[in-house]
Amino acid sequence: MTVTKHITTRDRARGSMAGLALGDAIGRPVEALSAQEIQARYGRVTGFVEDKPAGSDDTEYALLTAKTIHRVGLGATRFDFAQTWREDVLPQTDNFAGGGFSEMAAIDNLRRGLEPPLTGDHNHAWSDGLAMRVAPLGIVANGDRELAAHLATEDGVVSHSGEGVHAGVVVAVAVTAAMTGANARECFQAGLDAIPADSWTARSLRDGRDLVDSGLGHDELAVALHDRLAVPDYFWSDVAPEAVGLAMSSLLVGDGEFASSMLFAVNMGRDADTNAAIAGCIAGAISGADSFPPEWLAGLHPVEGSCIASLAGIHPLDAADDLLRLIEGNTK
């Protein structure tokens, strides 16, 4: 008889934050490479490819989102999220290493005195910058899909609009579904159901799922997903419907198992750190941190503040534990 291991809420929360950070760190060295370039350089990425692996803006912006929730709680509004940006991001005047155009545009708008949603109304509002940072919101919503979608929207309009917000909602809802035991297919469907059916992001999700279910081998599937979902004619790979489509397809390929899901996203290339962080935060919540290779967890360190200097020294697992305390406080 097969005995199914019980995965605790703590293990899922830590799995989501660690999964995000590990996807970021493992994917960062191959960011912007094609699958063919990754294969030529590394064969296939199966773990850390640098002696001192480190994450990037993906992890640090997720910690920034977590900071608002730590400070305000589940009632956080767009103005609360914007205030955290004012306190932790705006005093920094340069060296936002790896920071995306959407975030820099929002910073500029905040400095001009604008408030959300106007701060997220700019020419790069459709990026994957929200999708990469919403895992903490899915964690604290702890199965409440409407709350996860609401919090993602409130955080999202600080820096994004339209497809950028839709993509973030998908990820937050998928994470929160995973927090209460949903499998990969159920998480995928929960995210898809949370956004307009006629949106670009929804079409990317459906197209990706169709390809995953087509019976192609992994190598052929990676090429087919790229050809169907990627926007190679645009000179950056941070388009949210592409990134979330590739990441959620990776989740299905790996059936929610952390390493398989995250590494498939890494090896497709494009915005590899973000795609892997998204796949990782959902698969991590499904699988739990205790299922991760020990050497990967050992390689997880406090962030360096390479993009947001004020966050230097925060460990993703400590952030997960803080989020867990908030969950426990709301369930007593």
Q: What are the pLDDT digits (tens) for 210-258?
A: 999 999 999 999 999 999 999 988 888 999 999 999 999 999 999 999 9
Domains of the chain: 9-46+131-152+162-327 (1.10.4080.10)
For 49, the 3-state DSSP assignment is coil
pTM score over 0.85:
yes
What local confidence, expressed as pLDDT, does residue 332 receive?
56
For 239, the 3-state DSSP assignment is strand
Q: What are the pLDDT digits (tens) for 18-58?
A: 999 999 999 999 999 999 899 899 989 999 998 888 889 99
Q: Looking at the predicted structure, is the pLDDT value of residue 3 above 70?
A: no
Measured distance between the N- and C-terminal CA atoms of the chain, rounded to whole angstroms:
35
What is the Cα–Cα distance from 20 to 58, expressed in whole angstroms?
Answer: 8
Cβ–Cβ under 8 Å, residues 247 and 275: yes
What is the Cα–Cα distance from 86 to 120, expressed in whole angstroms?
Answer: 14
Q: What are the pLDDT digits (tens) for 155-210?
A: 999 999 999 999 999 999 999 999 999 999 999 999 999 999 999 999 999 999 99
Place of tokens 């992994």: 218
What local confidence, expressed as pLDDT, does residue 51 receive?
85
Three-state SS letters, 82-117: HHHHHHHCCCCCCCCCCCCHHHHHHHHHHHCCCCCC
Give the residue among 143, 150, 134 at the shortest CA–CA distance from 20: 134
Q: Looking at the predicted structure, is the pLDDT value of residue 1 above 60?
A: no
